[in-house]
């Protein structure tokens, strides 16, 4: 059983999500505003957040930003549930740290499948059978703790950003297309566009400075991690 926080202001959708998630065996807490959702997040631990974009006080974008910059909240997976399905909104949500994106109206079976995949990936990530840390000078990538440190300071990466970095760093020098990267780090159901990976790469680079140059753009192909040797 996982504890899931639903931040949603529509009473009908609250009821729908609570009922179906509880049927799957999860503990569900519902918050009707962004402020209430942040309050719940600081009261108890959660394994996943379903976050509506349009909320009456703090919108989902602000809540997501706060989570991704708050110690203890930054690694919680976020699935945005919103009526806005344009690609620009998808890119915006992923750009501020959301892990997945579901548009309203949604099929409850599809949403439950995405929740299941996201939770299972948290528990047993299968990026690589090799769980040895990767270290390049003062950059340490720890696949057991899902943690990255730069000069001893923890880099607050989202789960998707961590998986992207670990996958590329595990295969230094090998260029991968954006589609190949999505196939290896995605869950098969997330929105797939070239811009999706570009947004994650941009955010990742900003968080691992001065080692951002290791994540190299290969023109006409995609991305690769610069050659390195374990220390």
The total of structural domains in the chain comes to 2
Neighbouring-strand partners of residue 29: 5
Q: Is the overall model pTM greater than 0.75, yes or no?
A: no
pLDDT tens-place string over residues 6-43: 999 999 999 999 999 999 999 999 999 999 999 999 88
Rounded to whole angstroms, the Cα distance separating 127 from 5 reads 26
Residue 174 vs residue 21, higher pLDDT: 21
List the domain range (segments joined by +) for residue 163.
134-225
Rounded to whole angstroms, the Cα distance separating 20 from 42 reads 25
Please check whether residues 96 and 65 belong to one and the same domain: yes
Query: Mean of the pLDDT values across residues 221-228?
Result: 84
Residue 193 vs residue 229, higher pLDDT: 193
Residue 182, classed as helix, strand or coil, is helix
What is the predicted pLDDT for the residue at 184?
73
What is the predicted pLDDT for the residue at 189?
43
pLDDT tens-place string over residues 39-91: 999 888 899 999 998 898 988 999 999 998 887 788 899 999 888 766 677 77
Band of residue 128 on the pLDDT scale cut at 50, 70, 90: very low
Rounded to whole angstroms, the Cα distance separating 180 from 75 reads 24
Question: Please, where are the H alpha helices in 86-190?
Answer: 87-95, 108-123, 159-170, 178-185
What is the predicted pLDDT for the residue at 146?
85
Please check whether residues 86 and 149 belong to one and the same domain: no
User: Does some domain include residue 81?
Assistant: yes
Residue with token string 């999706």: 196
- Final residue of a domain: which of 123, 157, 186? 123
Band of residue 228 on the pLDDT scale cut at 50, 70, 90: low
């Amino acid at each position: 059983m996982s504890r899931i926080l639903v931040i949603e202001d529509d009473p009908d959708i609250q009821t729908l999500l609570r009922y179906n998630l509880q049927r799957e065996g999860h503990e569900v807490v519902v918050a009707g505003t962004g402020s209430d959702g942040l309050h719940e997040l600081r009261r108890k631990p959660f394994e996943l957040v379903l976050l509506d974009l349009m909320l009456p006080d703090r919108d989902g974008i602000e809540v997501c930003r706060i989570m991704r910059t708050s110690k203890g909240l930054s690694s919680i997976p976020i699935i945005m549930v919103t009526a806005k399905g344009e690609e620009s909104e998808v890119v915006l949500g992923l750009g501020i740290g959301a892990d997945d994106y579901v548009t309203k109206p949604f099929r409850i079976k599809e949403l439950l499948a995405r929740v299941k995949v996201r939770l299972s990936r948290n528990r047993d990530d299968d990026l690589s059978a090799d769980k040895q840390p990767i270290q390049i000078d003062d950059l340490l990538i720890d696949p057991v703790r899902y943690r990255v440190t730069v000069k001893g300071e923890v880099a607050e990466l989202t789960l998707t950003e961590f998986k992207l970095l670990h996958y590329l760093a595990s295969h230094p020098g090998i260029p991968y297309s954006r589609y190949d990267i999505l196939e290896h780090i995605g869950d098969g159901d997330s929105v797939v566009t070239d811009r999706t990976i570009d947004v994650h790469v941009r955010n990742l680079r900003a968080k691992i400075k001065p080692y951002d140059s290791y994540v190299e753009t290969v023109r006409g192909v995609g991305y690769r991690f610069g050659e390195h040797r374990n220390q």
